Amino acid sequence: MNEALGGVIITAALAISLFIYGKKWKEMSTTNKVVYVLVIVFMVSGGYYTFKKYSNEMLLRRIEAKIGTISDNGEAKEVTVKIGDGDSAAAFIIGDGVFSFASKPIYKFEIEDGKLYAYGVVRDFHAKPVAAIERNEWTLFSDEFEYQNNDHALELVTKGERKVFFQLYLKDGIAIFQGVAIDVNGKGKYWDGGISSGALVIPLWDGKKMFSFDLNESTAKRIFKYPRETHLGERVNP
């Protein structure tokens, strides 16, 4: 899209230039015509190179970005969380908007002016913060996982097998979620919506000790294509 815009700008500049000097073209000598054409070519080439360089720099910044924002594309009436995006995925309403485990809040959702907002800290199996979301603005703290995002979703996957570790997608006023929900003490669950119906909930705490879940056993489906460097923001199913 940026390259197309650059082409339009360059074409417009060339057209304006030809319009201004068009009436004088017949009066110009052959030498002046050649010089004029060479100047135009030089200006267009230089402008395109500068624009291309700027576009590449902006793309690199987006690829390397550790901060961003997601937004709801619908109108939310009540806080609804859906485990996965399948037709038969489990969904439930959270009256107070707090997604918790053993009375410990982990993620929170609220509605303001019909828009859904998310809050929370994403932690690994050792309760170490990996990412944080504050009013839909996300920040990554760790390079432990690969990640992808677009205007409405954020996803973290394991390196190698690319199994879903955390996934949040705000769609049509609903929070679509899969992955870990772990509190500051390392207690929590893994929510897997990749099964044929409902959701698989794997506890990460047995009442006495916390333990890891082998993510290779997860059936949660990724939203995005990887790697990020060549598929920035591209969804598996557009």
Spatial separation of the C-alpha atoms in residues 76 and 51, rounded to whole Å: 40
Query: In degrees rounded to 5, what are phi and psi of residue 172?
Result: 55, 40
- Dump pLDDT digits (tens) for 150-202: 999 999 999 999 999 999 999 999 999 999 999 988 888 999 998 777 788 88
Please report which confidence band the pLDDT of residue 140 belongs to, taking 50, 70 and 90 as the band edges.
very high
Q: What is the reported pLDDT for 14?
A: 59
Average of per-residue pLDDT values in the chain: 82
When pLDDT is cut at 50, 70 and 90, the band that residue 139 belongs to is very high
DSSP result, 22-60: HTTGGGS-HHHHHHHHHHHHHHHHHHHHHHHHHHHHHHH
Give me the phi and psi of 26, to 5 degrees please: -65, -25
Peptide bond into 227 cis (omega under 30): yes
Segment 138-149 mean pLDDT: 95
pLDDT for position 107: 95
**pLDDT tens readout for residues 31-80:** 776 766 776 777 666 666 666 666 666 656 777 789 999 999 889 999 99
Tokens of 157: 């996957």
Range in 114-123, 204-213, 216-225 the model is least confident about: 204-213
Q: In the prediction, which pLDDT does 200 show?
A: 87
